[in-house]
A and B are shown apart, each in its own frame.
Chain A
Amino acid sequence: MIKNLSIQDLRSRGQELLDERVRAITAGLGLKELRAVLRGDPATERPNPRYRVHITSFLFHIRPRYYEKASTWFTHTFRLGYLSTLFFLIEIITGVILMIYYVPSPTGAYGSILELQSRIPFGSLLRDLHRLGAEAMVAFVALHMLRTYLTGSYKKERSFTWLTGVVLLLVTLFLSFSGYLLPWDQLAYWAVTIGTSMAESAPILGNEVNLLLRGAPDIGAGGLLRFYLLHVVFVPLLGILVLSIHYYKVSREHGISLPARIEEGDIPKEAKKDATQRIDYLPNLMTHEIFLACLVIFAIVVMAATFYNAPLEHHADPQKTPLDTKAPWYFLWIQGLLKLGDPALMGIVIPTLVFALLFAVPYIDRNPYRMMSRRPVAVALGLLFVVAVLVFSYMGTPQWGIETPAAVRIVQDLAPEEGIGPLRAIPYDQLQPGVYEVGVTDPTTLPSDLGLVFVEFEEQVQEAEEAGALPDAQAVMVIEDWQADLKKVTPRIVWTDPESEEQKTYEKHIFLHLDRRRGE
Chain B
Amino acid sequence: MGRTQLEILFGLILVSIAVLIIIFVGFNEEDRMVEEAHSQHGEAIEVGAELFETNCSGCHGIKGEGIPGLAPALSDAHFFTGRVQEVGWEGTLEDYIISTVSVGRTVSTRPELYVGGGKPAMPAWSQQFGGPLRDDQVQNLADFILNWEATALGEVELAELPPPTPGAEEAADPVVRGQQVYSAAGCAGCHAIEGISNGVVGPGLTQIGSVAATRVDGVSAEDYIRNSILNPNAFVVEGYQSNVMPQNYGQQLSNQELDDLLEFLLAQE
Chain A: residues with CB nearer than 8 A to chain B?
A: 38-40, 107, 110-111, 114, 117-122, 124-125, 283-284, 287-288, 290-291, 293-295, 297-298, 301-302, 305, 314-315, 433-435, 437, 476, 478, 480-486, 488, 490, 492, 494, 503, 505, 507, 509, 511-517
Q: Which residues of A contact B42 (CB under 8 A)?
A: 485, 513-517
Tell me whether B223 is interfacial, beta carbon within 8 Å: no
Q: Which residues of B contact A298 (CB under 8 A)?
A: 14-15, 17-18
Q: Which residues of B contact A482 (CB under 8 A)?
A: 49, 63, 158
CA distance A302 to B15 in the complex (A): 11
B7 touching A291 by the CB < 8 A rule?
yes
A121 touching B26 by the CB < 8 A rule?
yes
Give residues of chain B (40-90) contacting chain A, Cβ–Cβ below 8 Å.
40-43, 45-47, 49-50, 53, 63
B22 touching A515 by the CB < 8 A rule?
no
B38 to chain A, nearest CB (A): 4
Most buried by B among A107, A114, A513: A513
Q: Which residues of B contact A515 (CB under 8 A)?
A: 38-39, 41-42
Of B3, B50, B166, the residue contacting A509 (CB under 8 A) is B50
CA distance A490 to B26 in the complex (A): 40
CA distance A119 to B36 in the complex (A): 9
Q: A122-B25, A478-B165, A486-B49 are in contact. Are A297 and B14 (CB under 8 A)?
A: yes
Q: Which residues of B contact A517 (CB under 8 A)?
A: 35, 39, 42
CA distance A235 to B151 in the complex (A): 54
Tell me whether B255 is interfacial, beta carbon within 8 Å: no
CA distance A302 to B56 in the complex (A): 46
Q: Which residues of B contact A480 (CB under 8 A)?
A: 161
Q: Which residues of B contact A117 (CB under 8 A)?
A: 36, 40
Q: Which residues of A contact B10 (CB under 8 A)?
A: 291, 294
CA distance A460 to B172 in the complex (A): 25
A484 touching B155 by the CB < 8 A rule?
yes
The secondary structure that dominates the B interface is: helix
CA distance A40 to B3 in the complex (A): 9
Q: Which residues of A contact B38 (CB under 8 A)?
A: 515
Q: A294-B15, A488-B49 are in contact. Are A121 and B29 (CB under 8 A)?
A: yes
Tell me whether B257 is interfacial, beta carbon within 8 Å: no
A40 touching B26 by the CB < 8 A rule?
no
B147 to chain A, nearest CB (A): 5
Tell me whether B8 is interfacial, beta carbon within 8 Å: yes
A231 to chain B, nearest CB (A): 23
A114 touching B8 by the CB < 8 A rule?
no
A412 to chain B, nearest CB (A): 15
A-B contacts, 21 listed (Cβ < 8 Å): A40-B3, A40-B5, A107-B134, A114-B40, A120-B33, A124-B36, A287-B7, A294-B10, A297-B18, A298-B17, A433-B160, A435-B163, A476-B167, A481-B158, A482-B158, A484-B151, A484-B158, A503-B173, A505-B167, A513-B42, A516-B39
Q: What's the tally of chain B residues with a CB closer than 8 Å to chain A?
A: 62
A312 to chain B, nearest CB (A): 10
B166 to chain A, nearest CB (A): 6
Q: Taking CB as reference atom, which chain B residue is nearest A314?
A: B47
Chain B: residues with CB nearer than 8 A to chain A?
A: 2-5, 7-8, 10-12, 14-15, 17-18, 21-22, 24-26, 29-30, 32-33, 35-43, 45-47, 49-50, 53, 63, 134-137, 144, 147-151, 155-156, 158-163, 165-167, 172-173, 176
Q: Taking CB as reference atom, which chain A residue is nearest B127?
A: A107
The secondary structure that dominates the A interface is: mixed
| Leading 10 A-B pairs by shortest Cβ distance | A40-B4, A515-B42, A513-B42, A484-B150, A516-B42, A291-B7, A294-B11, A298-B14, A481-B158, A511-B49
Q: Taking CB as reference atom, which chain B residue is nearest A488?
A: B49
Q: Taking CB as reference atom, which chain B residue is nearest A319?
A: B132
Q: Which residues of B contact A288 (CB under 8 A)?
A: 3-4, 7
A511 touching B21 by the CB < 8 A rule?
no
* 7 further interface pairs, Cβ-Cβ under 8 Å (given A291-B7, A476-B166): A119-B37, A125-B25, A291-B8, A492-B167, A505-B167, A511-B50, A516-B43
Q: A283-B4, A509-B50, A515-B41 are in contact. Are A481 and B163 (CB under 8 A)?
A: no
B49 touching A434 by the CB < 8 A rule?
no
A255 to chain B, nearest CB (A): 22
Q: Which residues of A contact B162 (CB under 8 A)?
A: 434-435
B7 touching A483 by the CB < 8 A rule?
no
Of B24, B36, B147, the residue contacting A483 (CB under 8 A) is B147
Of A284, A315, A503, the residue contacting B3 (CB under 8 A) is A284
B5 touching A111 by the CB < 8 A rule?
no
CA distance A49 to B176 in the complex (A): 90
CA distance A288 to B40 in the complex (A): 44
A395 to chain B, nearest CB (A): 33
Q: Taking CB as reference atom, which chain B residue is nearest A518?
A: B39
B46 touching A512 by the CB < 8 A rule?
yes
Q: A118-B33, A513-B46 are in contact. Are A315 and B134 (CB under 8 A)?
A: yes
Q: Which residues of B contact A305 (CB under 8 A)?
A: 21-22, 24-25
Q: Taking CB as reference atom, which chain B residue is nearest A315?
A: B136
Q: A503-B173, A517-B39 are in contact. Are A490 and B4 (CB under 8 A)?
A: no
Q: Which residues of B contact A490 (CB under 8 A)?
A: 165
Q: Which residues of A contact B49 (CB under 8 A)?
A: 482-483, 486, 488, 511
Q: Taking CB as reference atom, which chain A residue is nearest B20?
A: A301
CA distance A507 to B180 in the complex (A): 14
A40 touching B40 by the CB < 8 A rule?
no
A343 to chain B, nearest CB (A): 29
A516 touching B161 by the CB < 8 A rule?
no
